[in-house]
Amino acid sequence: MSANVRARRPASPPPGIPTTTSQRFPHPREGHLDADARRAAASKGFGPGRTKSYPPGGLNVTSGEWKLLFLIVLVAAGVRLFRLSKPNSVVFDEVHFGKFASKYIKTQYFVDVHPPLAKLLITLAAFIFGYDGQFDFKDIAKPYENVPYVAMRMIPAVLGVATVPVSYLTLRALDCRATTALLASLFITFENGMITQSRHILLDSPLIFFTALTTFLWIGFCNEDKHEPFTESWWTWLTLSGLSLGAVLSCKWVGLFTIATVGVSTLYQLWNLLGDLRVPPRLFARHFLARALCLIVVPIFFYMAMFEIHFLILENSGDGDGFMSSEFQHTLGGRGMADTFADVAVGSKVTIRHVNTQGGYLHSHPHNYPGGSKQQQITLYPHRDSNNDFRIFNATLDGDTHFDWENSPLEYITPGMRIKLRHIATEKHVHSHDHRPPVSDVDFQNEVSAYGMPGFQGDANDDWFVEIERGDRRDKESTKRLRTLRTTFRLRHVLTGCYLFSHKVKLPEWGYEQQEVTCNKNAVKANSLWFIETSSHPQLPPDAPKVNYKLPGFLSKFWELQQVMWTTNAGLTDRHAFDSRPDSWPLLRRGINFWVKEHHQIYLIGNPMVWYLSTLSVAAYILVRGFLILRAKRGFRDFDSTKVVKYDSLCGFLFIGWGLHYFPFFLMGRQLFLHHYFPALYFAILLSCSVFDLLTSTLRPRVRLQIAGVLIILAIWNFQYYSPLTYGSPWTRSKCEKAKMMKTWDFSCHDFHTDYAHYDSVGLATPQKSAAAVSTIGGEGGGRAPIVVEDKNAQGKPHEDERTETAAIPGRAEPGRDIFAGEPIKDIKSMSKQPEKEEDVPERAPKKISSVVTLSTESVPVKAESTESSKAETLDATSTTSEKEKEKQEPLVVAVDGPEGAAAKKATAGPLIEADAEAEKVAQELYPEAAS
């Protein structure tokens, strides 16, 4: 009977007590797990056991794999660096990011919607190779001159190459097989879209690299955490993960999605620790604080350090000043101001600034409106000028504007006082009357002009009531009377009750494209507020109280810039010729046209095989995971299998990374493009290879390698087939047409020759003079980059008239609102208004054309347009060929941009072909001489 009784083995020793030798286990192993511990470890996705030698980060890579990885890196370098110098002209958003590098070199302040790290890396390469910052990156297809553009392109290219080995190591750290990691690295190597993004001066390649690096470092930390926490290696991986999180966030705000991915994984870890009764509260607190320090504090400090470098470099005034507050502007070189008198009295000489639209100065100059009252213009001007100087007078009914204010007692400006503002240079008063403004032609807006003459006392339309909105807590008197830099006030017109008002609308060229000033009966409060920047009065003694701007420190400047970036980014809602919505990205429904020149084209399109396989894998994971949940509900114990647990954990993490980098874009109303999907695509590719690892897990290694080889060959074939669009190399029209797998792929096959022989005499190098072959919409200084349109009728021919005049298209008026209530007035639209008669427009001196649209009967849809427009970098320009012009077989030439430094207008809505009727009408109304 005793033979049927099996002896019970001794209980496993408690955790923390060294394992002793026994007859059953004569050779103790460090970290040996008994059956219960192995089952618990398997339920969490841990490996079957632990050995003495544990590789850093759980990365068990053999020496043969390192040699293989070296070969993969060489292949990736060859693919991404091939013909990197071609084209030798500006491509796509190099318009913006190259220009930002120029401003860094010249230390001129600018504002961009993206953090500075990637731009700083590009600038560093330009600086090392001797770039002087003088090239303007003005137009797409503009030839580079004295620009180390290859070195600047090398930064994204090298980071694109580095992404390949990181992807390999990531899957190996996730305990996938070497064949699987090889497949993923080659998928990314031959992904056409990622190659295109990494070959130009763009920010997406650094973003993808730091996203991939963060993922790899975090997985390494998780492996260390499973093995033994709080070791030196554990802290190293955790700290590096935090630094990489800071880097990805410092490239683009899309890095927030990477932070969310790591955050979800962190919460999952902490939740498991919280439910583990073997973990005391003090140990849990250590885990929590360590992660908070390295994953929150470290990234924030890294992110802020990048902006500190940004501010240190951009120490001088630039075209980005207008986005910032007056206090911020005065921290920049060339914008400092001497102390000014605090008191404002009748007779004071003052400069008045607007509060809401980046602090432009109330301004006038001896030029009249071409329509309306035809009186002298009142505008908002962003720079200091003697034409910003006004003198304040008492305008009571029995008062005299020419009383002896120099010898009379000081009379301070108090709330409710009726005043006149006389423009000192022209001796005319700020005036309003029942005339519509030149641009904002709506019933609730009145024109504001300068009216009068020397010695003229003016009339009641010159009179304004002072209303104090708020003062400064540091100055108690600022709420009782006007005080320089301390009091914010409104000016209400005495007769009509409207408020002196300004907004972002620009006047046309006859108004020097300065901001429009109106008198608004339904004024938005924020746009009706003003303050006095400087004040002087002959009766004020030299020791009278003086004030100046309180210069902000780093934290104030940092926070203000974050707000400006957020507001500007959210405001990029205009349509673009090649924008797309997130629902089209996984299906690769359309790409982006980067560059067109001399029968070559660069078009951003993904590798179809890699793209669709990754999308299919995402869908497969969703279906299988849902099926496993249903089986669990029916009592099946699939999750008791270590294999199921391993792949569920692996694929689940990658799926969460894909989802968090993809689904948030559905919440955004801003302008979106295919390249916004690339971080999510990276996770999708890794997920597809993880699915491959699961499906081939029961196969022999040789068979698995053969299957992977077939997939790699298909990926390389797809890459090679679409490589002409990736590199801008020769292609034929017939092959281009055959390559269109979807009707929505809108690369233009008409731009290619019908035969390769035609390319023999045409090199890819861009000539110095290309105006005859390519025309552009936009591209003015400080404005939106151009849409490049090939002029096939004019190839090889110079422009007939280089002195074509340019005309700015005015902006549109902002909608009116209930006065200071914030509710929009319904059924009232702001319209642009132009002079009715040609003789009403003042004569303008001819000037060299900056940007011309040439559209012939052979014109095709828009070729290329820059997308990363900032708040002041959009252009409202939509032009097409009318039916009448088509019959004549003659091109229509329309100039659409303003002078250098002009602030921008609203962006065009969609491709040129989508707005034929409206554009024709606008062109005929605004440019009758061009249309004729």
Helix 178-189 vs helix 149-173: crossing angle, to nearest 10: 160
- Is 358 in contact with 324 (CB distance < 8 Å)? yes
In 3D, which of 178, 181, 161 has the Cα closest to residue 170? 181
Element (H, E) at 493: strand 488-493
Q: SS in 3 state form for 142-174?
A: CECCCCCHHHHHHHHHHHHHHHHHHHHHHHHHC
Angstrom CA distances, 667 to 568, 663, 664, stand at 17, 8, 5
Across the range 612-632, mean pLDDT stands at 95
Element (H, E) at 894: strand 892-895
Stretch among 320-329, 732-741, 852-861, 863-872 having the lowest mean pLDDT: 852-861
Query: pLDDT tens, 694-748?
Result: 999 999 999 999 999 999 999 999 999 999 999 999 998 989 999 888 888 888 8
Peptide bond into 87 cis (omega under 30): yes
Tokens representing 559 are 């926070």
- Angstrom distance (rounded) from CA 344 to CA 326: 19
Please report the pLDDT score of residue 761 as a whole number.
59
Whether residue 166 is predicted with pLDDT greater than 70 in this model: the reply is yes
Higher pLDDT, 916 or 505: 505
- Domains along the chain with CATH numbers: 85-310+605-725 (no CATH), 338-548 (2.80.10.50)
CA angle 161, 590, 736 (to 5 degrees): 85
- Angstrom distance (rounded) from CA 871 to CA 164: 35
Q: SS in 3 state form for 406-417?
A: CCCCCCECCCCC
Residue type, 527: N
Task: Enumerate the β-bridge partners of residue 483.
Answer: 343
- Angstrom distance (rounded) from CA 315 to CA 320: 12
Q: Which of 34-38, 116-120, 573-577 has the highest mean pLDDT?
A: 116-120
Please report the pLDDT score of residue 48 as a whole number.
53
- Angstrom distance (rounded) from CA 351 to CA 380: 12
- Angstrom distance (rounded) from CA 318 to CA 688: 47
pLDDT band at 27 (very low <50, low <70, confident <90, very high): very low
Whether residue 2 is predicted with pLDDT greater than 60 in this model: the reply is no
Task: Enumerate the β-bridge partners of residue 333.
Answer: 316
pLDDT band at 542 (very low <50, low <70, confident <90, very high): confident
In 3D, which of 560, 649, 893 has the Cα closest to residue 41? 649
In 3D, which of 446, 451, 405 has the Cα closest to residue 431? 451
Stretch among 640-649, 881-890, 917-926 having the lowest mean pLDDT: 881-890
In 3D, which of 688, 728, 732, 737 has the Cα closest to residue 711? 688
- Is 646 in contact with 45 (CB distance < 8 Å)? yes
pTM, full prediction = 0.75
- Is 122 in contact with 137 (CB distance < 8 Å)? no
Q: Is 57 left (phi over 0), alpha (psi -120 to 50) or beta?
A: left
Give Cβ neighbours of residue 429 (< 8 Å, ≥ 6 apart).
Answer: 420, 421, 422, 423, 450, 451, 452, 458, 462
Whether residue 51 is predicted with pLDDT greater than 80 in this model: the reply is no
Size of the chain, expressed as the number of residues it contains: 932
Please report the pLDDT score of residue 522 as a whole number.
87
Residue 760, SS3? coil
Whether residue 402 is predicted with pLDDT greater than 70 in this model: the reply is no
Which residue bears the tokens 């008492």?
A: 394
Q: What is the overall mean pLDDT for the chain?
A: 80
Q: What is the CA radius of gyration of the chain?
A: 34
- Is 656 in contact with 638 (CB distance < 8 Å)? no
In 3D, which of 740, 736, 767 has the Cα closest to residue 752? 736
- Angstrom distance (rounded) from CA 405 to CA 516: 32
Across the range 580-606, mean pLDDT stands at 91
Alpha-carbon 579 to chain mean position: 14
pLDDT band at 489 (very low <50, low <70, confident <90, very high): very high
Tokens representing 677 are 């999907």
- Angstrom distance (rounded) from CA 750 to CA 846: 36
Which residue bears the tokens 């793209």?
A: 611
- Angstrom distance (rounded) from CA 746 to CA 590: 7
Whether residue 871 is predicted with pLDDT greater than 60 in this model: the reply is no
- Angstrom distance (rounded) from CA 120 to CA 104: 8
Residue type, 179: T
In 3D, which of 517, 256, 259, 582 has the Cα closest to residue 380? 517
Share of the chain above pLDDT 90, in %: 55
Residue 864, SS3? coil
Task: Give the phi and the psi of residue 333 in degrees, each rounded to 5.
Answer: -65, 135
Whether residue 364 is predicted with pLDDT greater than 70 in this model: the reply is yes
- Angstrom distance (rounded) from CA 907 to CA 871: 11
Please report the pLDDT score of residue 165 as a whole number.
97
Please report the pLDDT score of residue 909 as a whole number.
33
- Angstrom distance (rounded) from CA 437 to CA 514: 14
- Angstrom distance (rounded) from CA 898 to CA 626: 58
- Angstrom distance (rounded) from CA 658 to CA 264: 13
- Is 115 in contact with 307 (CB distance < 8 Å)? yes
Share of the chain above pLDDT 70, in %: 75
pLDDT band at 20 (very low <50, low <70, confident <90, very high): very low
Higher pLDDT, 911 or 643: 643
Whether residue 798 is predicted with pLDDT greater than 90 in this model: the reply is no
The H helix count followed by the E strand count for the chain is 23, 20
- Is 767 in contact with 852 (CB distance < 8 Å)? no
- Angstrom distance (rounded) from CA 335 to CA 316: 8
CA angle 230, 236, 242 (to 5 degrees): 105
